[in-house]
Amino acid sequence: MSDADYKNDVDAPCAKKLKISQQNENGVSDNQLELKDFLPEKILNNNTNRKTVCIKGTFKGKSGVALILFEKNAFKEEDLNDKGYFSADTELQTFFQNDIYGNYECFPRPTLNGVKTTVIYPATEKHIAKFTLQEVHIVLETPELYEKLTLPHIEKEQFNLQWVYNILEGKSEQDRIVHDNKCEKEGFVLVPDLKWDGLTKETLYLLAIVRQRGIKSLRDLDASHLPLLKRVRDEGKKSILDKYNVPGSQLRIYLHYQPSFYHLHIHFTYLRHEAPGIYAEKSHLLDTVIDNIEMMGDYYKKATLPFTIREMDNIFNVYETNGYVQRIKPNIESSVIIK
């Protein structure tokens, strides 16, 4: 999810013009953006492992910075047949042949070549920092450090949550909702995450956004939230099984700490999908969270929790000033200027 809604037209990957509907903070369409009008300035991060790239630039005739994120789509198993990659339209360009080995570049039909595209406009300095390649540090946050350093920072610096409220209030993305429990205390909305195309099982990724406001993160959870957490887990599993035929035993269900935005949300991903942020220093399995709270109602108010921070994050400055992390001097420039 993001502060900006986006359009990923998977039915028309051959289009020469990609028009993106820009929406204002109330979820109402303002105008159209076109990629042909984007003026790239700098590559913030080119991740060759994940096949993603983020470019900073501007749109012709518009003020403000924009970010474009391109991501290679995963292979869909239903395209691995004579109508897909092995169709008569597929071409091979030979690099070399040696005995039984051949190395080629494959050019399948255009409809298989779509690139998942996300536009963030206008992008803030926080967005730029989030998508820029940079050094990462781990912090072991005690309850005392949370109260003294982390909490004052997130109350001051956090992202605007209007896009979350637009979904919860029925103003935006209603056609994308997979499940909607409207109970104000235990209800939630289940929607495909921005990072998922909504189609490919192998990269399945949904987000449960709770309706109850005021729960910022894992730190706020206690025994009073157990009914909510169990409802999200159980109803989320059932909805995903009904719609996508993926059983709960093949789902990774977890919370991030620190989260990318401070309104409680829970991630559902396909177990075989190596989604961003699934590692031990950031991801907390929902079942483990529930078990910990059942053992000790205020567990997450007393526990020491690890989290990672990057050197361009403002919270890094807070922890650096107080002597908990030290900045690394870069050897080379981590982003590329586009000339």
SS3 at position 92: strand
> Which residue matches tokens 């730029």?
128
Catalytic, out of 179, 225, 265, 267: 265
Is 127 marked active-site?
no
DSSP state of 136: E
User: Amino acid identity of 113?
Assistant: N
**What is the DSSP track for 251-276?**
EEEEEESS-SSSS-EEEEEETT---T
Burial class (CB in 10 A: 0-12, 13-18, 19+), 316: buried
Burial class (CB in 10 A: 0-12, 13-18, 19+), 226: middle
At 188, list the tokens: 């939630």
Angle between helices 286-295 and 226-244 (to 10 degrees): 160
Please report, for residues 87, 194, 198, 262, 276, the alpha-carbon distance to residue 203 in angstroms, rounded to integers and kept in the order given. 24, 12, 9, 25, 11
Q: How far apart are CA 251 and CA 179, in angstroms?
A: 16
Q: How far apart are CA 33 and CA 19, in angstroms?
A: 6
Buried b (16+ CB within 10 A) or exposed e, 156-166: eeebeeebbbb
Bond prior to 97 in cis (omega within 30° of 0): no
- Please give the positions annotated as active site: 265
